[in-house]
Amino acid sequence: MNLDNRKYLLYALVFITGVLLLVRLFYMQVIDDSWTRRATEIAEKRREIIPPRGVLVDRKNRKIVINKISYNLMMIEERIKNLDTFAFAKLIGWDVKKVKARFREIVKNEGIYKNPSTGKTQSNYRKDRPYPFVKDLSLEEITLIASRLTDFPGFYEEPTGTRYYPYPNGANILGYMNEVGRKEIESDPFYRPGMNIGRSGLERSYEEILRGKKGVRYIVTSATNNEIEPYADKKYDTVAIPSPKIKLGIDIKLQQYGEELMKNKKGCIVAIEPKTGEILTMVSAPCYDPNLLSGRKSIRKNYPSLITDENLPLFARPLQAEYPPGSIFKLLQALICLQEKEITPNTGFPCNKSVVGCHDHPYPSSVAKAVQFSCNPYFYAAVRRVIQPNKNKNVFADAEIGLNNWHKYMMGFGLGNKLGVDIDTLAQRDGLIPNAAYYDRYLGHHQWAFSTIRSISIGQGEIKLTPIQMANIAVIMANRGWYYTPHFVKSIGKKGKLKKYRTKHVTPIERRHFDAVVEGMRRVVYEAGGTGKEAKIENFTVCGKTGTVQNGKNKKNHSVFIAFAPIDNPKIALAVFVENAGAGGAWAAPIAGLMMDKFLNKKVTNKEKENSIKNANLMSSY
């Protein structure tokens, strides 16, 4: 009996042991793949092939972003044997203390994690993995080092790409790259220590395309870690796929010219091709050379001074700055009033300066003349009819109805929200188009009427637009009621642009209402009493609108001008905003004229005006 019991007990122990071994084997092979990966690494080595980063060209196929080879000095600790620290430090131009500190820094930067199978906290650092020891070495620097690396096993050179900008322009468009961090390495298997990632601009927004797709090469190694042969006759190798060439809609020569005009000024220029929505140029002033942030050494040297510069060169004004639009907003007000049938093209209002201030000009007997003279009382009277539509006897409830209706029109113009430009969305702002809920929040429900918010009728008060939105208003006027979302990328390889930038947006204004307003824009430039005469160019008819934006007490007004040309089949629409420069006709209009002249006529005929603008220093007035 006792013998039988012991026999069954032995069977049970063998069975339980077998089950436990099977469970453990299942866990190691199916759930925890670290053992599989380790076994694979012992038998063969996986070498990743990183393709060169994508090249960017402008609309005329001029290369504006290319790659320049630099080098990292890599290390694999388990291969380092009997390191002569003093000799190694001398080779790379460091002292021994700095070399030892760098080893500690690499281990520390890899961080720690909790092993799910053991529950223990351990370092992410692995002795069998390569890490960059010295980064961003030039060809000259690595040449001096490479010939001696055989004396220091475990160290080797690895080429890496940094960006180079043949034209020192468009920094706020192109953005910059920097080294990946631990979180990025953990969240995306593409990256490993020492690699770069787009941090801003197009480099960031098109990162997944520009980086291409990695290839893999497997090799069999000996016990001493020397390569013997390709694994499985290259059966499992994959080819690296470079990024397709990305063609931009910008004209880099026009960008260059715009930056020259905006030297020693704060503000921006945004020019768009109306029929496609492609951004021709986007100047943010003050500007800086994008090569200042190319490569780790350059970033370490130049970024601190750029980020602390009181003139904010890293601030992308066309996308991030929010300004009152001033009188350029009257164009949209006129369209809404016409669409709502509150006025006709021949409606006139007296220029009653007791209601709101204005300058001296003839009687605005039509919409075209009201735009030409930029008459404040005219737009006060016209917009009042929209905001107070007499649909409710209670004046406050009536204003709520009218303002919300007005707000819908403005949203139809692409205002009050990010336009969705194909650039880092964090670098874009919404602007502000107030609705009833906005004023309720600050003034109380039914505690306001048109008389409270009347400044919005002339583009002041709470209204805020970004310069890219201002330029898009010029596009809407040029196209007589429609636009494509402004964008930089014209084509990705042979696939063209992304679908969302091929979708036409139609405003809620009938085509016929644009005629009177566009005629007013023509008069601004060519007729007596117009304030945009400085935007005239030869051979083409320009339509424009000036704005003089109030900028608080004891501060100089901002100068703004939007325009398109030619009047029929427009090729360019743009906005120019110059901070603290005074009237719109004084600075923004002539800059816009020079830009259109350069683009349409391929040359600038008025050299005196050009030199005057280029040599003007408006920074001192800030």
DSSP reduced 3-state for 185: helix
* pLDDT score of 582: 82
Backbone angles phi, psi at 555, to 5 degrees: -125, 145
For 538-583, strand residue ranges (E) read 543-549, 558-565, 572-578
* pLDDT score of 226: 52
- Residues facing residue 329 across a β-bridge: none
Residue for token pair 């050009």:
610
Burial class of residue 253 (count of CB atoms within 10 Å of its CB; 0-12, 13-18, 19+): middle
DSSP 603: S
DSSP reduced 3-state for 281: strand
Please state the rounded mean pLDDT for residues 573-589: 91
Out of 3-12, 31-40, 173-182, least confident range: 31-40
Residue 589 to residue 56: CA distance in whole angstroms: 31
- Residues facing residue 613 across a β-bridge: none
Element spanning 189, H or E: none
pLDDT at 454 over 80: yes
User: Which range, 12-26, 353-367, 542-556, has the best average confidence (pLDDT)?
Assistant: 353-367
Helix ranges restricted to H, 33-123: 34-43, 85-92, 96-109
* pLDDT score of 549: 87
Percentage of the chain beyond pLDDT 90 is: 65
Q: Which of 544, 547, 531 is nearest to 593 (CA)?
A: 544
Find the angle CA(114)-CA(106)-CA(215) to the nearest 5 degrees.
85
Q: Which of 359, 423, 520, 522 is nearest to 175 (CA)?
A: 423
Element spanning 491, H or E: strand 489-492
pLDDT at 386 over 90: yes
CB 240 within 8 A of CB 213: yes
* pLDDT score of 581: 86
pLDDT in tens, 405-415: 999 999 999 99
DSSP reduced 3-state for 98: helix
Residues in Cβ contact with 94 at an 8 Å cutoff, skipping those fewer than 6 apart = 102
* pLDDT score of 39: 47
pLDDT at 35 over 90: no
Structure tokens at 374: 């930029």
Q: What is the mean pLDDT of the chain?
A: 89
Residues in Cβ contact with 540 at an 8 Å cutoff, skipping those fewer than 6 apart = 565, 566, 596, 600, 601
* pLDDT score of 41: 46
pLDDT at 565 over 70: yes
pLDDT at 360 over 70: yes
**Does the CA dihedral 31-37-38-42 come out positive or negative?**
positive
* pLDDT score of 45: 66
pLDDT at 502 over 50: yes
pLDDT in tens, 73-83: 999 999 898 89
Does domain 252-621 sit in CATH 3.40.710.10?
Answer: yes
Domain ranges of the chain: 70-164, 252-621
Structure tokens at 296: 């780790």
* pLDDT score of 526: 96
Residue 196 to residue 253: CA distance in whole angstroms: 28
Percentage of the chain beyond pLDDT 70 is: 88
Q: How far is CA 224 from the centre of its chain?
A: 49
For residues 172, 178, 183 and 189, what is the CA-based torsion angle, rounded to 10 degrees? Answer: 100
pLDDT at 266 over 70: yes
Please state the rounded mean pLDDT for residues 32-46: 50
pLDDT in tens, 391-403: 999 999 999 999 9
Residue 295 to residue 97: CA distance in whole angstroms: 25
Please state the rounded mean pLDDT for residues 552-573: 91
DSSP reduced 3-state for 94: coil
Residue 347 to residue 552: CA distance in whole angstroms: 33
Residue 106 to residue 76: CA distance in whole angstroms: 11
Residues in Cβ contact with 466 at an 8 Å cutoff, skipping those fewer than 6 apart = 318, 319, 320, 321, 322, 323, 419, 428, 429, 431
pLDDT in tens, 297-308: 889 899 999 999
